[in-house]
Amino acid sequence: MAQHKHIIIDDPGEERNYTRPPGGGGEFRTPPRDRRVHATQLQEDIQQAKNEARTKAEETGHIIHDLCLEIVGEQDYELKIESLQDLRLCPPIEVLSVKRIDNQVHATIYVPENKLTYFVRKIERYEKDDTKSKHPRPKNEDLVAGIRGIRFPVLRSFWTDDVNLFPSSNTERIWWEVWIRVAPSENPDDAFASFVATTADSNLRISQHAIKFPERLVFLAYGSAQDWTQVFVPLLDRIAEFRKAKEIPTEFLNLSAQDQRSFVNDLAGRVVSPDLNAPAVCLLDFGVHIEHPLLRPLITADDAQTYDPVWPAVDHTESHGTEMAGLAIFGDKLPELLAGNQRVNLTHRLESVRMLHSNQPHPEDTWGYVTQECLSKAETQAAQRRRVACMPVTTSDNGRDHGRPSSWSGAIDQHASGQLDGFQRLYVIAAGNIRDIKTNTDYSYPESNLENSVEDPGQSWNALTVGAFTDRVQIRSEAFDGYQPIATRGGLCPSSRTSDSWEDKTWSFKPI
């Protein structure tokens, strides 16, 4: 019997002949249609879209060579997205964006000049031809029957974000995240320059920081829906999709204290707190300022404890615990919530056990004991409450353990597994930071992140070790013209550590 960690093979293998796997997913559902009536209606829709394009061209003086169409799926049915495009053509018919509104799929497609006949032919074959099979059915039925209508697109057709985030009026000015098409043979810089030139006489403010993806450029633009309408037709062959740009936290930090308080108080008035028995995130850190307006409804004085009873509930020289509390409650959505006006229904509460003192460090051999004791205080205070232990602090040992167990990580493994008392716990621990990223001339992304090991106690097998990433990669400040983000959207944060350098590859992957 061969035995490995986590895998036990009790029986020897046996030889079997290959058999073809069954087809997956079952039959594609299509709504019932009178094929000829439906085909005629869709052909009329396309003709109407062509007429509207011609009218728009006459009104704007801009000739529309390539056509964009919004394909609207039938309610409660899927749309055969992959069949809408034809990538064999040169240039191809391609899907630009897809969204779902009230269980109805909307897809916007780009149809190059003289290629519309290829798309129309699919409808004609649906109307007149049958498949050659045991049970004949209309050709292209999965695609055509699922289409409810076809129309010339409007600005909203390219909006792929939450429909509630679209500007509430034509004059409301916001930051838009703009995705534009770049042909495979086209220079991305030329595509961007062409776009900027087209918008030069508009009221749109185009950021000069464009991020390049295969066949797409992404950048920010500030303006209103009305501003876009003025240049919509000339840009139709270029636009792929719009989203609302992420709010930037620094914009709130740059406000005056009075304005900051105004935003904070407004959000605090919209927060709906969970009940006292709701699950909690228990922070083991330097303590939390529980009187902060956004945290006050979520943590009681009884739930703000300290390792040493004589310590204040928060270390007033360290804000880290309070900052982590905000992250634990609002995640990365705080800028959007501050800028919005919606009610915010929260599902969990906060607990804090001040584990650290800036002037009284714990002896290294007590770190594991101190961690266990701190979490036990929260468990004693509210024994019936479910919780997640969050410890966003690590040693500053530069990951010298390289994955090997330490007394601290071992104590967390012991406590999390329930070995001590039969009660299992979830610990969420930081992977640690590369602290000299700004001054180290040898730093290289992501190679340095792969070389810098997770810091103690992030190597704990029974804990969830967390690194950092962000989707906020668009640069707005003119002070950073010419700069590019180091990491891509959703990529590993440049200061985050990993377990890639651990020699024993059977150990767990960190962070996860």
Q: From the centroid of its chain, how far is CA 510?
A: 20
Residue with tokens 């269980």: 103
What pLDDT score was predicted for residue 312? 96
- Between CA 234 and CA 59 the distance in angstroms is 12
pLDDT per position as a tens digit, 370-425: 999 999 999 999 999 999 999 999 998 888 888 999 999 999 999 999 998 999 99
pLDDT at 485: 86
List of E strands, 273-401: 280-285, 304-306, 344-345, 349-354, 387-391
Predicted pLDDT at 133: 83
- Does the pLDDT value for residue 24 go beyond 60? no
Tell me: the pLDDT tens digits for 468-481? 998 888 877 777 77
- Residue type at 44 in one-letter notation: E
**450 DSSP assignment:** H
Could you give the angle at which helices 367-381 and 407-417 cross, rounded to 10 degrees? 30
Instruction: Give ranges for CATH 3.30.70.1150 in the chain.
Output: 163-245
Q: Is the pLDDT of residue 25 over 60?
A: no
Task: Examine the pLDDT at 511 and tell me if it is beyond 70.
Answer: yes
Residue among 220, 192, 193, 180 at smallest CA distance from 204: 220
Rounded mean pLDDT of 331-338?
A: 90
For residue 352, which of 333, 329, 384, 335 has the smallest C-alpha distance?
329
Question: DSSP string of 39-58?
Answer: HHHHHHHHHHHHHHHHHHHH
Tokens of 366: 């007590």
211 DSSP β-pair partners: 218
Q: Is the pLDDT of residue 321 over 80?
A: yes
- 8 A C-beta contact, residue 206 and residue 196: yes
Q: Taking each helix axis as running N to C, give the angle between helix 116-128 and helix 35-60, from 0 to 180 degrees, rounded to the nearest 10.
A: 160
Distances (CA, A) of 445 to 48, 322, 441: 52, 30, 12
Q: Identify the three-state secondary structure at position 96.
A: strand
Are the beta carbons of 96 and 81 closer than 8 angstroms? no
Cα separation, 245 vs 178, in Å, equals: 9
Encoded tokens for 270: 């919209």
Q: What average pLDDT does the segment 260-289 reach?
A: 95
> Which residue, among 420, 379, 371, has the nearest Cα to 395 in the 3D structure?
371
- The pTM assigned to this predicted structure is 0.70
Q: From 2.60.120.260, 3.40.50.410, 3.30.70.1150, 3.40.50.300, which CATH number describes the 163-245 domain?
A: 3.30.70.1150
Give the CA distances from residue 74 to residues 27, 31, 303, 505, in Å, rounded to whole numbers and listed in that order.
17, 8, 52, 50
Contact 215, 153 (CB under 8 A): no
Give dist(CA 457, CA 510) in Å, integer.
11
**Local structure of residue 247 (DSSP, 8 states):** P
Residue 76 has pLDDT above 70, yes or no: yes
Q: What is the phi-psi region of residue 35: left when phi exceeds 0, alpha when psi lies from -120 to 50, beta otherwise?
A: alpha
In contact, 350 and 321? CB cutoff 8 Å: no
Under DSSP, is residue 391 helix (H, G, I), strand (E, B) or coil?
strand
Residue 1 has pLDDT above 50, yes or no: no
The percent of residues in the chain predicted with pLDDT above 70, rounded, is: 95
